[in-house]
Structure 1
């Protein structure tokens, strides 16, 4: 089972597939603790990660690594170390949660212009070519031709900064950033064809199908706390990938019907419904070693206004 990396906090671990105790611990601490004043023993961390099949040794190692990375800090009380999530990590996680929960809520406005990047590199510069393609993809660009990339985003500053950082001083490198309009933008030879929208639509439909049984169980009130904590983390892991792979194209460029709205509705309904149950289960797991757990453990829910941050707070 793949685990959700809910935060890209200070020096957070890289995203990867498969069980990853660091990502899992980042998720649990980020989604269910909203105060840097909460001090918990390592035994509470071990108990929480055990719910996901993580061994005590791996849980403690993950905690130590998050301390080294600056997401968690140590406060000592006698001989017993107590840990707390840093204020900077909490703030960064709030921003990350807002991005995941708000993704796809509001249609993208567009004036019909594309941001176009064209570059030329000597054949010997394969390393720079590979790095540039990776950066362009991460910025939401798609490759229209071999060295021509496009994006409906109007802001050229991020890609200009990336090009300057990667190619400045490289002998023989040339590049241009421009705005352009295309005839037949949505046709088979138009720029929208550079995006694999068929595969993306299939992924959204698969998300809905894979979570249909969970959605039905939620609506029937058939999901208990013991299932909710793991199910909610798995759901978030599946949804947050869309914010990475979906270029969020304007409606004018999307085929109809477009399945993202149904997938997002499924995600929000299940994520919101499981929040109190997951919180209850986490308190149950942590309380034997951390009697104050009920006073500190919380959960995030989506704000009604997608432009607002997610709602948090101890309940």
Structure 2
């Protein structure tokens, strides 16, 4: 399984093992800022990431790279530079936070429909074959057989466009996009064989094991503001991969005792309980370098049925409520209202 790349103009950093300053900064910006009007000094960003053990040079490199990717932009020509989230990035952050926090809230509306892609290339088409596989993975397809890829649902516009872009004009290249159903959907030769469900289940179980002690500490009131920011950001940074790598298959195609719901409940409990404390800590860290930090820093919070984000406008706190509706089966996570 390959994690889909967000289907918009803003290029999120790729997942990699170990501490990732870009991912941490993307998570912080997505969780705690909700206005493109906020002027964010670079020194404040350095201080925020220092809380996570990120060096100043790595923090400034992360700022530079996220600027190149369009997630943030430089405001004016001040030195040291001042950054802001673009309106497009704000929209993308909101959409992605909805996606992260609502994923798994309710089972998919299953119709039994699959989009199937089959392609054939001459032996010399190594570059095109690699490009197709990468593009199909980014669109949420999984390889059922060598050159047969599937994804749940019926939306095929994006994959048709991608295949034309890569294969039109390639001598000996052929491809087909089909809307299919499986005679034995739950059998050993059915669509579930395309997915590493055992590996995904293990990842959910590792997530639960990693953060179970933190949940106990939260329940016991042993997490103060200083620990809350790192703990809450860590749990979200670990969770955010699942909505992109989990194909969200219907229950009859999943192994028994599927652990996603237990993992989601753990996330929501920690994320909700530590929100205000984490926000307070971030304000404390940023204020020496950003006097207006308390006017702009906020936090998302979620429940089983709805998602809310507190937005501060000139010192007045309002709340924006949105239903945590999941994308329909076969649609891209970013195909709704566009947002880290």
Fold in common (TM above 0.5): yes
Q: Which is helix-richer, 1 or 2? A: 1
Contact 2:299 2:310 in 1 (8 A): yes
Deviations 1:271-309 (A, max 9, x none): 111211111111111122222222221111126535xx6
Which residue does the alignment assign to 2:330? none
Which residue does the alignment assign to 2:40? 40
Pick closer, same or farther for the CA change 1:58–1:294 going to 2, 3 Å: same
Listed as ranges, the matches of 1:113-152 within 5 Å are: 113-152=113-152
Aligned equivalents of 1:298, 1:24: Cα separation in 2: 17
Matched, 1:167 2:167: yes
Task: Give 1:85 shift.
Answer: 2.2
Pick closer, same or farther for the CA change 1:301–1:94 going to 2, 3 Å: same
Task: Give 1:78 shift.
Answer: 7.5
Deviations 1:89-117 (A, max 9, x none): 21211111111111111211222232221
Deviating more after overlay: 11-20 vs 273-282: 11-20
Contact 1:114 1:181 in 2 (8 A): yes
Contact 1:303 1:311 in 2 (8 A): no
Q: What is the TM-score normalised by the length of structure 2?
A: 0.83
Aligned equivalents of 1:112, 1:21: Cα separation in 2: 41
Which residue does the alignment assign to 2:337? none
Corresponding residue pairs, total: 309
Contact 2:102 2:304 in 1 (8 A): no
Task: Give 1:68 shift.
Answer: 4.4
Listed as ranges, the matches of 1:1-315 within 5 Å are: 10-75=10-75, 81-302=81-302, 305=305, 310-314=308-312, 315=317
Aligned equivalents of 1:36, 1:276: Cα separation in 2: 22
CA RMSD of aligned residues (A): 2.5
Q: For structure 1, which runs of at least 5 residues remain unmatched after alignment? A: 1-5
Aligned equivalents of 1:38, 1:197: Cα separation in 2: 42
Task: Give 1:87 shift.
Answer: 2.1
Aligned equivalents of 2:68, 2:157: Cα separation in 1: 33
Pick closer, same or farther for the CA change 1:166–1:81 going to 2, 3 Å: closer
* SS at 1:132 equivalent: helix
Aligned equivalents of 2:229, 2:9: Cα separation in 1: 22
Deviations 1:116-163 (A, max 9, x none): 211111111111112212222222222222111222221121221121
Task: Give 1:81 shift.
Answer: 4.6
Task: Give 1:264 shift.
Answer: 0.8
Q: What is the TM-score normalised by the length of structure 1?
A: 0.89
Aligned equivalents of 1:103, 1:256: Cα separation in 2: 20
Q: For structure 2, which runs of at least 5 residues remain unmatched after alignment? A: 1-5, 318-340
Aligned equivalents of 1:191, 1:7: Cα separation in 2: 24
* SS at 2:123 equivalent: coil
Q: Higher relative contact order at CA 8 Å, sep ≥6: structure 1 or structure 2? A: 2
